[in-house]
Amino acid sequence: MSNDVNHVEKTMKVGPVLRANEMAEAIIEAIQLDNSDRNIEIIDRGGYIRVQADDYCIITKKTMEEVLGREFRMPGELEVNLSSFIGRINPGTDAVEFISKK
């Protein structure tokens, strides 16, 4: 009999919880572009929108500016549209990352 334990990695959902407004649409589009290799789940709760991916999600300043067609202040403009977030947040001037707590 083996003492090996089958270890299954469990994923954690991470990402922003956004205020439901026009900026949320742009943020969601940028998230989908920046995370094209990931499954992004969008949950619209009326007053807020939960955006989540498994273990990691990034939003870049460059993509936000492409989507909006103007300069975007990162992380300031993003933060004012966050109701909350899931996971750990790593804010920066070029990107904001949402990372699992593993």
Domain boundaries, the chain: 13-99
Contacts 24+ apart (CB under 8 A), 20-24: 20/44, 20/45, 20/46, 20/47, 20/48, 20/49, 21/81, 23/77, 23/81, 24/49, 24/81
The CATH topology of domain 13-99 is Phenol Hydroxylase P2 Protein (3.90.56)
Distance from C-alpha of 47 to C-alpha of 10, rounded to nearest angstrom: 30
Has this prediction a pTM greater than 0.85? yes
Residue found by looking up tokens 């992380």 in the block: 75
Where b means 16+ CB within 10 Å and e means fewer, 80-93 reads ebbeebbbebeeee
Task: Give the tens place of pLDDT for each residue, 14-39.
Answer: 999 999 999 999 999 999 999 999 99
Q: Does the structure show a pLDDT above 60 at 5? A: no
